[in-house]
Amino acid sequence: MMIPLVLMSVSCTEEPDDKPATQDTLVRSQGVYVLNEGVFNGNNASVTRFTFEDSLVSADIFMQQNGRGLGDTGSDLAIYGSKLYAVVNVSSQVEVMDASTGKSLKQIPLFNETVARQPRKIAFHGKHAFVCCFDGTVAVIDTTTLTVVTDIVAGPNPDGIAVAGGKVWVSNSGGLNFPDYNNTLSVIDPVSLTEERQVTAGVNPYVMAPDSYGDLYLIARGNYSDIPGRLMVLDAVSGEVKHTFETFEALNFSIAGDTAYVYNYNWFTGTSTILMINVKDETLITPSFITDGSEVKTVYGIAADPVSKLVYVADVMDFTGTGKIHVFNNRGERQFTFNAGINPAVFAFLNRTITVTP
């Protein structure tokens, strides 16, 4: 049974020194980057770019711009300010690129002497990027100098990270302790760069994302047996579990506005489901997001663009060949499809601010 390594979806976030938008500016979607995980130990992770203006698909923009491969097993992708960050797990590095071109700015290796720290996910606060690593630490990177300024000790095998309530939250999966997974989240102060405390959540905590109502949504993957994967809602200040959705299993999700798009892939039956949750009142909108009969074979990632309102669904097909990206409107009607690389999983939206005449 193959377990997905990473499925986190993210959008463009501004660095603190960027100018805020005024009433005479609009933000429009310029394009989207897709991180293709590749095959584990295949050294074939890649980045695909789709641009809206000309509907141009660049199958491997990183190779095209840099003349080399991205590395082994992509695990996360995010835009922060003018930079695009790719976390490459087995190669144990963060690749930093120019977000407009995909040109490499710097490779940041993450090793403990010669031992790979296995970075998983990335999140941002102020002038720092926080990268959780499977060795039980969080690497803190200065986003200006692109250097590691410190490492923070977290819990066992961190596998997710998010910023909510002014803190950095890290999910301690305990993934190497099967079947005795961990069930804690580390709460990190982004100013002192220290772990303040740990709170208890679901078994085998994974991806997280905040909503706009002071909550932190979390997927707890369970033990792949008698404890199913669940979507949970936590208070983003106290860490208290406020609600658990018990009627469906969940692998990953993406929040845009008041809607969470949640999916699950059943590894035993080979079937995928996508549903919609209202995060304002924590209710199920519909158990079936796709309304036009479009088929997605193997859902492996999802991201909702808050600007265009389009929902991107990654379909890895058979896990070995070219994957596809199916793009739906928010009514679940397919708009178009384009090819990506092997095992597409993570999205980062490139949005641009334009000045308009009022």
Report pLDDT for 268: 82
Decide: residue 318, CB within 10 A, 0-12 exposed, 13-18 middle, 19+ buried.
Answer: exposed
Decide: residue 324, CB within 10 A, 0-12 exposed, 13-18 middle, 19+ buried.
Answer: middle
* 64 phi, psi to nearest 5 deg: -60, -40
Q: Any residues with CB less than 8 A from the CB of 116 and at least 6 apart, and which?
A: 90, 91, 92, 110
Residue type, 51: T
Residue type, 314: A
Nearest residue to 341 via CA among 2, 48, 50, 62: 48
Report pLDDT for 270: 82
Sheet (strand 230-235) strand order:
205-210, 215-220, 230-235, 241-245
Average pLDDT over every residue of 6-29? 46
How confident is the prediction for the chain on average, in pLDDT? 91
Report pLDDT for 1: 35
Q: In this predicted model, what pLDDT tens digit does every residue of 326-354 receive, in sequence order?
A: 999 999 999 999 999 999 999 999 986 55
Q: In this predicted model, what pLDDT tens digit does every residue of 55-84 receive, in sequence order?
A: 999 999 999 999 999 999 999 999 999 999
176-179 long-range Cβ contacts below 8 angstroms, 24+ apart: 176/134, 178/223, 179/223, 179/225
Q: Poorest-confidence range of 22-31, 88-97, 162-171?
A: 22-31
Report pLDDT for 20: 38
Which element (helix H / strand E) includes 65?
Answer: helix 61-66
Q: In this predicted model, what pLDDT tens digit does every residue of 144-156 receive, in sequence order?
A: 999 999 999 999 9
Report pLDDT for 15: 45
Provide the pLDDT confidence category of residue 191 given band limits of 50, 70 and 90.
Answer: very high
Q: In this predicted model, what pLDDT tens digit does every residue of 207-218 receive, in sequence order?
A: 999 999 999 999
Among all chains, which residue has been given the structure tokens 């047996």? Answer: 225
Q: In this predicted model, what pLDDT tens digit does every residue of 222-242 receive, in sequence order?
A: 998 899 999 999 999 999 999
Round to whole Å and give the CA distance between 347 and 221: 21
Report pLDDT for 7: 37
Report pLDDT for 21: 40
Is residue 206 within 8 A of residue 220, CB to CB? The reply is yes
Positive/negative CA dihedral, 282, 286, 291, 295 = positive
Q: For the chain, which domains are there?
A: 25-355 (2.130.10.10)
Please determine, for residue 195, whether its predicted confidence score (pLDDT) is greater than 90.
yes
Q: In this predicted model, what pLDDT tens digit does every residue of 89-112 receive, in sequence order?
A: 999 999 999 999 999 999 999 999
Report pLDDT for 358: 45
State if pTM tops 0.75.
Answer: yes
Q: In this predicted model, what pLDDT tens digit does every residue of 293-321 receive, in sequence order?
A: 999 999 999 999 988 889 999 999 988 88
pLDDT, greater one: 139 or 318: 139
Nearest residue to 275 via CA among 284, 260, 287, 293: 287
Report pLDDT for 19: 36
Residue type, 72: D
Which element (helix H / strand E) includes 63?
Answer: helix 61-66
Q: Please list the residues that pair with 334 across neighbouring strands.
A: 328
Provide the pLDDT confidence category of residue 269 given band limits of 50, 70 and 90.
Answer: confident
Report pLDDT for 27: 64
**Is the link from the previous residue into 179 a cis peptide, with omega within 30 of 0?**
yes
The angle at the Cα of 290, spanning 329 to 159, to the nearest 5 degrees, equals 90
Give the percent of the chain with pLDDT over 70: 90
Q: Please list the residues that pair with 286 across neighbouring strands.
A: 276
